[in-house]
Structure 1
């Protein structure tokens, strides 16, 4: 009996740790960072790759832990978040703060060991997410614009980790992930609209599930597609995409655009969920295509 209780407690602690640091989101961010590194590097250094993975995880984990501390009272109001460790009473604010602080220091230190610029962008990401995006979420739909900045850093961060340089190449990677986040987050804001409303969050650009939001979602999806194929035209330095890969990326983009148009036509929760899934597939496959394109040409 005591063994069962002990294993349950251990499971709860592990689950809560994963929840406070949002491990699934962290993994997707690490994936973006590693893709950016592989695009920027001349010769792969596996130690740097490992450091980037851990530094990226700590960076995102810190941001999410601070976010959940700040929003603990609002999280308790929403079905989606009321069972998180702090509002559910399974973790104290002080414990979460210790985790967030340790993750911040560890993340920045690890990224600094790669190079100072990588650490600087990592610190900017944590600061903007925690001190700008999080408090703005209950104030203005422009919070999504602010949140798109730290959200776009990981893809770029990988290139900076590989080169210790910020130029047109990492700037392009930043732009791709920056524009992509608008249809992605507006899709989430649409299908979680009622739940977000309970917490006082208005994430949609018009504040409503209306045609205006749907039109803007289509517009930003088109911008995402256009920015994603720019490297095929030779304007982006060492970041280059072959015509075949550009066509593949363009077709993937048309797939996401299809679901954005479906949201405009149907204006349903299901259509928003489909767009969200399409957007996740798009950015993941885009990064894979970019990396494969570099190593096979």
Structure 2
């Protein structure tokens, strides 16, 4: 019997929806928000967790969809992005805009139902990402600084969703993820420098893969580690980690710093890729350690 494969439009649509919303990135952002919620909540309301996850995914997905609409011509120039739904022609701009707009409204409504402050910070995040960060990417290396603001909101957003308040605790979570983004995105920019150059993107602080950029990567990695340890001092209100957890975070930070120094020494794509992967591991494991630290203290 002859085997035949039937192409399913629905499968293609699902695949394109995953790609235009950058599903993996969106899930990692949702993970940060949920971690922030667990840190801030006195008792866990799983309905709120689900709403935070869905609302957060919608807003991140909307931001990515708007980004791909605005950068469709530039995406076509780069190898890693030319097959995205819009630049490849599989999805029209109008369809992408409807998806982005629907996700924006849905995300903001869901976050507002949690509490108004959560929706406000969600709105600020998508506004900065789409209206300020995206246009600046082809004009100045400072775009990474601007992009670090919406990128740092998810971790603190969870705390705000849990408490309805903004104070030193969510501010500290914001600063951790804010500083972390510099070595992360500069490592990514170094690794994919040639491809980014085809699209005219300025991702590195000096605009080049040079000593100046490498020094800044090391410095911001150090700042990330220092800020990550501040909750162990007892100076950040209800946000606190024990000395044991601080030691684990410190070891993680040393690992990330090692790869930053290796990039400074070798200044090659391979070292940049290793640092980028190490940075992803660092922020993920840090959030897990923070949450587990709180849960253990509550149980004991």
TM-score (norm 1): 0.98
| Structure 2 unaligned regions, length at least 5 | none
Map of 1:245 onto structure 2 = 245
Partners of 1:142 and 1:135 in 2: CA distance = 11
Q: Does residue 1:185 correspond to 2:181, yes or no?
A: no
Partners of 1:218 and 1:11 in 2: CA distance = 43
| Structure 1 unaligned regions, length at least 5 | none
Map of 1:5 onto structure 2 = 6
Give CA deviations for 1:172-204 in whole Å, capped at 9, x if unaligned.
000000000000000000011000000000100
Map of 1:52 onto structure 2 = 52
CA RMSD of aligned residues (A): 1.1
Map of 2:175 onto structure 1 = 175
Superposition pairs of residues 111-150 of structure 1, within 5 angstroms: 111-150=111-150
Q: How many residues align?
A: 296
TM-score (norm 2): 0.97
Give CA deviations for 1:132-177 in whole Å, capped at 9, x if unaligned.
0000000000000000000000000000000000000000000000
Give CA deviations for 1:209-241 in whole Å, capped at 9, x if unaligned.
001000000000000000000000011000001
Map of 2:31 onto structure 1 = 31
Partners of 2:111 and 2:164 in 1: CA distance = 11
Map of 1:198 onto structure 2 = 198
Give CA deviations for 1:34-65 in whole Å, capped at 9, x if unaligned.
00000000000000000000001001000000
Partners of 1:258 and 1:4 in 2: CA distance = 49
Partners of 1:132 and 1:254 in 2: CA distance = 33
2:88 alignment partner, SS class: coil
Partners of 1:85 and 1:267 in 2: CA distance = 34
Tell me how far 1:6 sits from its aligned partner.
4.1
Map of 1:62 onto structure 2 = 62
